[in-house]
Structure 1
Amino acid sequence: MKIAVAQFNATVGDLAGNTDQVIGLLAEARAAGADILLVPELTIAGYPPEDLLLRPSFYAACNAQLDRLLDVADDVTLVVGHPLMLGEERFNAVTVMRDGHILGRGQKMVLPNNEVFDECRYFTPGASPCVFEQRCHDGSVVTVGVPICEDIWHLEPAAEAAELGAQILLVPNASPYHRGKEDVREAIVRQRVEETGLPVVYCNWVGGQDELVFDGGSFAMNRAGEVVAQLPTFETATAVLEFHDGDLLPGPQAPARSEEESIYAALVLATRDYIRKNGFPGAIIGLSGGIDSALTLAIAVDALGAEQVRAVMMPTRYTAQISLDDSREMVRRLGVQYDEIDIEPMFQSFLAALAPQFDGLPVDATEENLQSRTRGVILMALSNKTGRLVLTTGNKSEMTTGYATLYGDMAGGYAVLKDIAKTLVFRLSRWRNTVSEVIPERIITRPPSAELRENQLDQDSLPPYEILDAIMERYVERNQSIADIVRAGYAEADVLRVVKLLKVNEYKRRQAAVGARITPRSFGKDWRYPITNKFFS
């Protein structure tokens, strides 16, 4: 039996477009002599459809596309995911079809309701897995089980499919990326293989959807728990695998990526898909001469091409000459459109207009924020005039501590580095320069500064980034308590300072642009803390 597994890039709500892609994949599978085509979870709808799933008309529109597929799935068995409404109940379903007939149908049995998932809001759990019989070109018959995504993370659905006679498990998935996720998936699937004795083909989405990015990385595991085929990550791909004599035979093996390469690829894919799927003609970035805006610019160019990216430098009296020099050098290397707009006169106008109101009051962060907000106004004006999307440049360390200005450097439509700690910003920048040296070395090596006052450095206002990021990871991503982190060897004063900054800046994060998720817990769908909150731990 030959199984075509296809990880492709869908768009939520583009029901006809997603179905068109499946029709194309059916033709490829047919030409390759495949018996079965396996595509990801909720193929027709895209993932996650969120509250589209509360609209009955959405199910009717998905059913119309399902009928289209039923008409064209000839000579190849299609295993396709879609939302299904039966009476008042809604299901995350899979339908198996061939030659105008439905061979099987099942509903997802285990609904994830953690991290970025809230399927219990939308779906009713299914009662049993989909199991069907596949007659192959040589006349043999193979019984196939189809647990859906989360189902494979639990024993019962796979075990029940085995009890119903399944000889192999085909798993459609919508499993978003975060650091280390590939190893977790393999470990879970290996556990199911050991428990059931059945080989598994795991098919995953690839592409960006708002803050989520799906990495593909589909794979096949034989009965010995060995990965015998591996599709590439962060790109569309199709492979034809062979099931023979009760097991999966070796197939293509895409090379593994380093952690830095994987994260960078995730950011490029997420940025490209957010801009293109939402119809923006390109991106605008405010350059500062610092490492965050430099890395954001590099990612944007890799995602869109230099011709679709515009960089704007907006100096004031506090902007160092080396910041101007390094920015000019970087845009020269990348070949993007570049403009310098001196905002000192605008800044002075604001100060003059506000002088009566500020009379007798000391200079503080207010004056610093005025500069940042002036830049935000200019970037948004250019965005309105050209249609290009402003990419914000703040990182996760800044989002944690509130070291960012509302309506200033936070103004924009997509936050590329929102889930990237400052220390990781440096690692990614160095990795990108191993591909081609687009970021001037001085940008990477000089101490970070907002350049909003004389001789300003980030570390004047924040703990050293090595300490800040380690505390942030433990508190935000691992849910450790203050006491846990202190016991791990961090100074109590540093821990209390970071956690307090995190707590009092919740209102800022609630207004921040959406950004790519690359850690197990980002400041997005999986971070839902109240703004008004007196609990401190």
Structure 2
Amino acid sequence: MRIAGAALNQIPFDWAHNIQTISTAIAQAKAEGVELLCLPELCLTGYNCEDLFLSDWLPESALAHLQQIRPLTEGICVVVGLPVRLHQRTYNTAAVLRDGEILGFAAKQFLASDGVHYEPRFFAPWVAGETTTVEHAGESWPLGDLTFEHLGVRFGFEICEDAWRPDNVRPACRLRGKVDLIVNPSASHFAMSKTDQRYNLVLNASRNFTCTYLYANLLGNEAGRIIYDGEILIARNGHLLKRNQLLSFKEVDLEWADVDFSTPLEMAGELVPLPAPDEYRELNQAMSLGLFDYLRKARSRGFVLSLSGGADSSFCAVGVAEMVRLGVAELGEEEFKRRSGAFDEAKTEVVQTGAGGAAHQTAIDVDNAAETQNQKPDTANQALVNHLLTCAYQGTVNSSDDTFNSAKELADSIGARFFDWTIDEQVSGYVGKIEGALGRPLTWQTDDLALQNIQARVRAPGIWLLANVQNCLLITTSNRSEASVGYCTMDGDTAGSISPIAGVDKDFVKKWLRWAQTELGYEGLRYVNDLQPTAELRPLADNQTDERDLMPYVLLNRIERLAFYDRLAPAAVLAQLIAEDPAADAGQLRAYVRRFYQLWSRNQWKRERYAPSFHLDDYNVDPRSWLRFPILSGGFSEELAAL
């Protein structure tokens, strides 16, 4: 039998869009002669409908919309994910359709409740071995722990989290010997190196349970924060039959394999390992796809970025350039422009700056660039970047020539529009007002943090105005390390619509930039890669650097991981650091641990207010996706005193 999985790029409760991608997948499968097609988990509604799953109307509407898919299944068996609500409980199910009929609904038995998952809030787990019926418009169908048959092949289900449980409790252990095929519709989020886990999971399941295993994941940035890589895996008895290219820019990605269920296949011995993951490349592809989907689903016209010349803003700028490069490479220029929704027939307009200093701009005519047939691909891509990304360097007397040159060189090299202006006049105006109100001067000796923060905050209104005028998304550039210790100015450098790298630590940011320069050819990064990260908010004579203000970033990241990924108490964190580096100064390590926990505790309110960020690593500090923490607390005072 020819079996297939299709990765779909869906949108929460966008019925027309979701049914269109489902329809496209079914049509492609039929054209390829596929006989059984698995679509991803909750693909009809979208996986991230959140508390709407608790309503009566959303599951009811999903059942109603499922009827539109029935006529499409003539001559093919199709698995479609959707919620079903019975007796005030919502179940995560996979509907099996064939020849215009609904055969039944298999229900998910184990719910994901760790990390970014909150499924027990929305769904009830199905009890193994139980079945019931669901009714709609005068028809009824079986629902529960079901198996099915198609063309003589018996198949059953594991739905995403079901497969991540131990072999002695997961549904597959009860399906052994009863089915030839296990189908797994999934919504498994992207994290660097996670594909290795899925690969081993699927191949081991096919070997351990002596079956063929068909796995199909969601694709793209569905709802804002979580990105899905669209992985499709088909394995039999420990042998890989099919695996697709991950993180596609396509809305439908289908892969199929022919399986002769009547002929035995020798069991695999050792599993063939995947090549070692390239996390720099993985993150690059995921962030590019995440930005592209956010852009088009938000119906925005592009991005605006306050480009400081530092590592974080440079990372974001290259991220947009890579979104263009990778998107065009896969879709072609015209399809990329159409899908983005950010282009029209009008030529690129020159944006004028407001008051506050001279401005400079580099602009490329997008339409003319597109019409030049013999143009080099990178030049054409620069024209698209010019249309989609506007950057501004907002200098003060504390800004250096180094960061200005870094910002301008990078913007010019990728084709972004670039402006620069100064904000000293606005800073002086606010400082003067407060000095007049208080009747005393503000000085660096008495008002250090306040004078730093006002510079960052004054940068926000102008860059917001530029974004609003162009109907663009404002990118904010904070990374995970800064979020952990609150090394940021609320309503200043944190101002923005989207924070793409807030889930990535600063040490990784620095390493990624060096990789992007050498491996991707972004020579415009040579300036920033030679600089020490600095906020440039104190007088230049102070030689301010981030690590002098905080601690070495490598150590900060290690404390953060031990504290909130491994969930250790402060004393255990300190003991682990000393054990890992016995030659280190124990007193200095103690001071760093104490400083980390103090800064962490007092800055939860900042993390609550960050712009939406992408989940890219195996954890993050976003309270709306991975890590909850009280805004007000005892601040580990007793635990830190005991150090």
Which residue of the other structure, out of 482, 487, 491, is the alignment partner of 2:575?
487
Shift of 1:407: 0.4
| Contact 1:153/1:189, CA 8 A, preserved across alignment | no
Match for 1:265: what amino acid? Q
Q: Does 1:369 align with 2:380?
A: no
Once the two structures are superposed, residues 213-258 of structure 1 have per-residue CA deviations (whole angstroms, 9 ceiling, x without a partner) of 11122212221x23332111111421111221367899xx998751
Q: Does 1:532 align with 2:632?
A: yes
User: Equivalent residue for 2:406?
Assistant: 326
Which residue of the other structure, out of 317, 324, 328, is the alignment partner of 1:297?
317
Shift of 1:68: 0.7
Alignment of 1:418-433 (within 5 A): 418-433=502-517
Once the two structures are superposed, residues 451-509 of structure 1 have per-residue CA deviations (whole angstroms, 9 ceiling, x without a partner) of 11122211221101121122222223232332232222342221121122111111111
Whole-Å separation in 1 of the counterparts to 2:239 and 2:590: 46
Q: Partner of 2:390: helix, strand, or coil?
A: strand
Measured at CA, do residues 527 and 489 of structure 1 come closer, stay the same or move farther in structure 2, by a change above 3 Å?
Answer: closer
| Contact 2:308/2:403, CA 8 A, preserved across alignment | yes
Shift of 1:368: 1.0
Greater shift after overlay, 110-119 or 177-186?
177-186
Whole-Å separation in 2 of the counterparts to 1:314 and 1:425: 22
Q: Partner of 1:479: helix, strand, or coil?
A: coil
Whole-Å separation in 1 of the counterparts to 2:591 and 2:17: 54
User: Equivalent residue for 1:407?
Assistant: 491
Which residue of the other structure, out of 155, 158, 172, is the alignment partner of 2:185?
172
Greater shift after overlay, 288-297 or 100-109?
100-109
Alignment of 1:102-141 (within 5 A): 102-128=102-128, 129-135=145-151, 141=152
Q: Does 1:466 align with 2:531?
A: no
Measured at CA, do residues 257 and 184 of structure 1 come closer, stay the same or move farther in structure 2, by a change above 3 Å?
Answer: closer
Whole-Å separation in 1 of the counterparts to 2:275 and 2:64: 39
Q: Partner of 2:259: helix, strand, or coil?
A: strand
Once the two structures are superposed, residues 58-115 of structure 1 have per-residue CA deviations (whole angstroms, 9 ceiling, x without a partner) of 1232122200111211111111101112242211011111111122321111112221
User: Equivalent residue for 2:260?
Assistant: 244
Whole-Å separation in 2 of the counterparts to 1:105 and 1:133: 13
Match for 1:82: what amino acid? L
| Contact 1:477/1:519, CA 8 A, preserved across alignment | no
Any unmatched runs of 5+ in structure 2? Answer: 129-144, 325-383, 579-588
| Contact 1:241/1:248, CA 8 A, preserved across alignment | no
- TM-score under structure 2 normalisation? 0.79
User: Equivalent residue for 1:19?
Assistant: 19
4+ aligned runs moved over 4 Å, structure 1: 246-250, 253-257
Whole-Å separation in 1 of the counterparts to 2:265 and 2:182: 11
Whole-Å separation in 2 of the counterparts to 1:489 and 1:428: 25
User: Equivalent residue for 2:532?
Assistant: 447
Whole-Å separation in 1 of the counterparts to 2:29 and 2:292: 28
Measured at CA, do residues 438 and 82 of structure 1 come closer, stay the same or move farther in structure 2, by a change above 3 Å?
Answer: farther
Shift of 1:357: 3.5
Measured at CA, do residues 439 and 478 of structure 1 come closer, stay the same or move farther in structure 2, by a change above 3 Å?
Answer: farther
Shift of 1:8: 2.0
Q: Partner of 1:111: helix, strand, or coil?
A: coil
Greater shift after overlay, 507-516 or 353-362?
353-362
Shift of 1:190: 4.2
| Contact 2:157/2:171, CA 8 A, preserved across alignment | no
Measured at CA, do residues 452 and 480 of structure 1 come closer, stay the same or move farther in structure 2, by a change above 3 Å?
Answer: same
Q: Does 1:259 align with 2:279?
A: yes
User: Equivalent residue for 1:138?
Assistant: none
Whole-Å separation in 2 of the counterparts to 1:465 and 1:357: 39
User: Equivalent residue for 1:157?
Assistant: 171
- TM-score under structure 1 normalisation? 0.94
Alignment of 1:11-410 (within 5 A): 11-128=11-128, 129-135=145-151, 141-154=152-165, 155-162=169-176, 165-208=178-221, 209-223=223-237, 225-235=238-248, 236=250, 237-245=253-261, 258-304=278-324, 305-306=384-385, 307-358=387-438, 359=440, 362-410=446-494
Whole-Å separation in 2 of the counterparts to 1:199 and 1:24: 25
Higher Cα radius of gyration: 2
| Contact 2:207/2:236, CA 8 A, preserved across alignment | no
Match for 1:179: what amino acid? M
Match for 1:159: what amino acid? C
Whole-Å separation in 2 of the counterparts to 1:302 and 1:233: 16
Measured at CA, do residues 486 and 508 of structure 1 come closer, stay the same or move farther in structure 2, by a change above 3 Å?
Answer: same
Whole-Å separation in 1 of the counterparts to 2:213 and 2:197: 15
Shift of 1:352: 1.3
Q: Partner of 2:281: helix, strand, or coil?
A: helix
Q: What RMSD, in angstroms, separates the aligned Cα atoms of the two structures?
A: 2.1
Whole-Å separation in 2 of the counterparts to 1:473 and 1:248: 44
Q: Partner of 2:488: helix, strand, or coil?
A: coil
Measured at CA, do residues 226 and 535 of structure 1 come closer, stay the same or move farther in structure 2, by a change above 3 Å?
Answer: farther
Aligned length: 528
Match for 2:527: what amino acid? R
Q: Does 1:496 align with 2:594?
A: yes
Once the two structures are superposed, residues 500-537 of structure 1 have per-residue CA deviations (whole angstroms, 9 ceiling, x without a partner) of 21111111111111101112221221211111111525
Once the two structures are superposed, residues 356-401 of structure 1 have per-residue CA deviations (whole angstroms, 9 ceiling, x without a partner) of 2451552311011111001111111222222111100111111011
| Contact 1:220/1:248, CA 8 A, preserved across alignment | no
